[in-house]
Amino acid sequence: MLDVIQGLESFLAWPTPLFMALGVLLGMLFGFLPGLGGVQALALATPLTFGMLPNQAMAMLIGIMGAVPFGGSISAILINTPGTPQNAATTFDGYPLARQGKAGLALGASASASVLGAIVGALVLVALMPLGRQIVLAFSYPEYFMLAVMGLSVIAVVSQGSMWKGLAAGLFGLLICMIGYDPVTGAVRYTFGLDYLYDGIKLVPALIGLFAISEALELMLKNKSFGGDEKISSTGGLGEGIMSVFHNFWLFLRCSVLGFIVGVIPGVGGSVSNFVAYGHAVQTTTKNPHFGQGDIRGVIAPQSSDTAKDGGAMVPTIVFGIPGSVETAVLLGALILHGLQPGPKLMLEEPAIVYVMVYALVASNILAGLLGLFGAKYLARLTDMPSALLAPVIFSLAIMGAYATEGILGDVFVALVFGVLGYCMREFGFNRVPMVIALVLGAMLQQTYHQTIMSMGAQGFFVRPISLGLFAITVLMLIIPVIKNRRAREGGIPA
Amino acid sequence: MKLKGSGWFELVIIAFSAVLLVMSTSYNEKARLFPMILSMVMIAVMGLIFLQESVPAAGRYLGFVKESGLFASRKPANGKVDGEGEDEGEQTQNAAVRHSEVFRLLRFILWLLGCIILLKFVTYLMIMPVFLLLFTKVEARQSWRNAAGVAAGMGVFNYLLFSVLLGSRL
C-alpha cells in the first residue's frame, strides 16, 4: 500500500505531470498520422528524457504510449485510415459512422472506450502483477498458433459481401506473408531477385497503401466529396458516444479483458488484440447487429481492447523484462538507460516507478480522451476539405509516412502497389479487412505451426489445456452464431 | 465472352498465384508447405469466383459463391462498405472501371511513380512541394493559389515533422 502512495506522490511531483502531458501531445500527433506510431514517437522521445529523473522520463514515455491508440482512432474514424496498425479494426465501423454524419458519436465512443479500457487494463495489471510469471510461462508455440487461428477465424465474421471473396482476400494476404525468409528453415522465398523482399512485405507500408493511397485514388477518381452527401464533420453526439460505452458495458469489459490477455503475450500486441476484440463483438452481439456499416459496438470493442492491451503488455515487461509489444521494447531500453533493471528486481527495488507507470498509463488516456473530445470539432473539419485538395494531402502523408519509417524507397513502392491493389479490391468487391488480418497473423501462424510440429508433434496442439481451450473457443465462436442464425430463421425471427 | 474489370483482376491474381505455386516447388519440404497449399487453394477459390462472375454458363451452378459473409447484415443507409458492390449488380463494377477511369488511374500511378523515383535523386523537401503543386493544379484542377497553398502547407509540415522533430536524414 505504501508503494501505491509513494508512486502517486512521485507521479504528481511537479513537473512530472507536465512531461506526461507533452508525451500525450506527441503520442496523439504520431497516432493520428498514418504511417507513424508509438514506436517512432517513443524512439524520438527517449533521447529527450536523458536529463530527466526516472519518474519524469517514464511519465513522458508512458504518456506517449497511452495516447497513441486514441490518436490513431481519430484518423481511422475520420479518413478511414488507421493511424497505427492497432487501429485497423476501428475503421470497420468508425468510418461508416462518420459517413453517416455520426463522427462525433464514434469519436466520443472511442475516447470513452479508450479511457475506460486503460483503467481496466491498469487495474488488472496491478491485481495480476504477482501472478504475471505464471501467465507468461503458460504460453508456448501451440498457444501462439491457436491464437493466430482464432484471429484468422474473424475473416469469416468480418466479410461483408461475398464470403468467398473475403476468403480469397485472406488467402492472398497469407500468400504475401510467405515472401521473404522462411522463419523456420531460412529458405528465401518469392523475392524475385530483389534484396528488399528478403525481410518480407512490411506491414506499415502495406497498410498505408491498402487504406490511405486507395482512399485517395478513390477520392480523385470519383471526384466526390469526402463524406459523400452527408456532413461527415458533424461532431454532434459526442455525449451519446461517451455514454454508449456504459450502455454496452458488458461488451466493453469483455473486450478490455481480452485486450489485456493478448497484451500479456509477448510479441503479439495491439495488431491482434483489436481484431480479436472486434471479432468477439460481432460474434456475440445478437441485438440488432449491423457491423461493418456503422455499429457503435464495432468502435467500442477494438478501442477498449487496444488500450487495455497496454496494461497487459506491461506484465511481461515489468515482471520479466520481456517486451510485451514493440512499444514496450523501446520502453525497456529507456528503463535501462535510466539505470533501472527491468524484471523481477524492479518490483522489489523500485516499486514506486512501477506505480508511476501505472498512473501515467491511466492519466495519459484520460488526457488524450479529453483533448481528443475538445479537439474533435476541429479535427473533423479536416474532412470538409474538397476531395480534390484532400487527396493530394493524403498522397503526400502516405508517401512520407512510408518513406520516413526507415528511409527506404522500396517501402514507398510497396505502399503504391498495395494502394492500387486496395483500390482494385474495393472496386471489385473484395474486402480488404481479411487481407490485413492475414498480413498481421500469417508469419506467426506459419512459424508457430512448424515450431509446434518440431518440438511436440501434431498432438502438441491438442494436449495442452490452454491450446485446446483456445481451439475450442475458436470453434464455438464460429458455430454458435451459425446455430443461432439458423434457429432464428427457422423460427421466423430476424437474426 | 467479354471480360469485365473484375474478370481481368481475378485472372491476374490467378496467374500470380500460379507463378507462386510453380516457384514453391523449388523450395525444401518445410519451406514449401504453406506457400504450396495456400497458392493451390487460392487458385481454386479465385477460379470459382471468376467462373461465377465471368462465365454465365458456369455461373448458374456456382450460386453459392455469391453467399454473404457469416454475419453480414443489412445494407448501410449510405456509404459504400468494403466487399459490397457486386451483389448490387454488375453495373456498379462496370461503371467503376470505365475506360476514362482506367486511364485516369494509370495517370495517377505514373504521377506517384515519378514522385517516388525522383525521391531517390532529389531531397523530399523539394520533390514533395513540387509534386503537390503540379498534381493539385493538373489532376485536381485547382487554382494556382489553392495548389500553392497545399504545396507550401504540406512542405512546411513535412519539414517540421520529419527533419526538425524526427531528425530523419531522407
**Which DSSP letter does residue A382 get?**
G
Closest Cα in chain A to B133: A392
Give helix B29-54 / helix A163-177 axis angle, nearest 10°: 150
For chain A, give the mean pLDDT: 79
* Cell, residue A338: 535510466
Which of B36, B40, B71 best probes binding to A when mutated, by most A CB atoms within 10 angstroms? B71
Task: Classify the complex by whether its ipTM is higher than 0.95, answering yes or no.
Answer: no
Taking the Cβ of residue A159 and every Cβ of chain B, the question of whether any pair is shorter than 8 Å is answered with yes
Residues B65, A404: C-beta atoms closer than 8 Å? no
N-term to C-term CA, chain B: 50
- Write the CA distances from A248 to A254, A287, A295, B86, integer angstroms: 10, 11, 12, 33
Q: Is residue A229 part of a domain?
A: yes
Q: What is the pLDDT of residue B110?
A: 95
Residue A409 domain flag: yes
Q: Is A231 an interface residue toward B (CB < 8 Å)?
A: no
Cβ atoms of residues A32 and A74 within 8 Å: yes
Q: Band of the pLDDT at B77, cuts 50, 70, 90?
A: very low
Give the closest-approach CA distance of A317 to chain B in angstroms.
26
Q: What's the Cα-to-Cα distance from A438 to each of A170, A242, B26, rounded to whole Å?
A: 5, 32, 24
Instruction: List all residues of chain A from 239 to 268 with a beta carbon under 8 Å from chain B.
Output: none
Domain count, chain A: 1
Instruction: Single out the residue of A377, A305, A387 nearest to residue A110, CA to CA.
Output: A305
On whether any CB of chain B is under 8 Å from the CB of A428, the answer is: yes
Is B128 at the interface with chain A, CB within 8 A? yes
pTM of structure: 0.71
Spell out which residues of chain B touch residue A171, defining contact as CB-CB under 8 Å. 38, 41-42, 45
Candidates A394, A262, A361, A478; CA nearest to A58 is A361
In a domain, A394, yes or no: yes
Cβ <8 Å between B30 and A190: no
Q: Which residue has the higher pLDDT, A490 or B134?
A: B134
- The pLDDT of residue B73 is 43
Q: Is the pLDDT of residue B40 over 90?
A: yes
Q: Report chain A residues whose CB lies below 8 A from the CB of B113.
A: 416
**Cα(B114)–Cα(B128) distance, integer angstroms:** 11
What is the spatial distance between Cα B82 and Cα A435, in angstroms, rounded to a whole number?
12
Q: Which residues of chain A are within 8 Å of residue B81 when distances are taken between CB atoms?
A: 96, 160-161, 292-293
| Residue A211 forms contact with B (CB below 8 Å) | no
pLDDT digits (tens, 9 = 90+) for A422-449: 999 988 888 887 787 788 778 878 888 8
Please spell the DSSP secondary structure of A331-365, one letter per residue: HHHHHHHTT---SHHHHHH-HHHHHHHHHHHHHHH
What domain range is A268 assigned to?
A: 2-490
Nearest CB to B71: which of A161, A291, A449? A291
**Domain presence at residue A214:** yes
- Residues of chain A under the 50 pLDDT cut: 226-231, 493-495
Reduce the secondary structure of A116-143 to three states and give it as a string. HHHHHHHHHHHHHHHHHHHHHHHCCHHH
Amino acid A36: pLDDT: 64
pLDDT bin (cut points 50, 70, 90) of residue B85 is very low
DSSP string, A137-165: HH--HHHHHHHHHHHHTHHHHH--SBHHH
Contact A312, A129 (CB under 8 A): no
Q: How many CB pairs under 8 A join A and B?
A: 254
Q: Which of residues 134-153 of B touch A (CB under 8 A)?
A: 135-136, 139-142, 146, 150
Output B154 or A470, whichever has higher pLDDT.
B154
- Report the residue from B5, B31, B154 with minimal CB separation from A189: B31
The answer to whether the CB atoms of A156 and B20 lie below 8 A apart is no
Tell whether B100 lies on the interface with A, counting CB pairs under 8 A. no
Q: Establish if A495 belongs to a structural domain.
A: no
Contact criterion met (CB < 8 Å) for A293 and B87: no
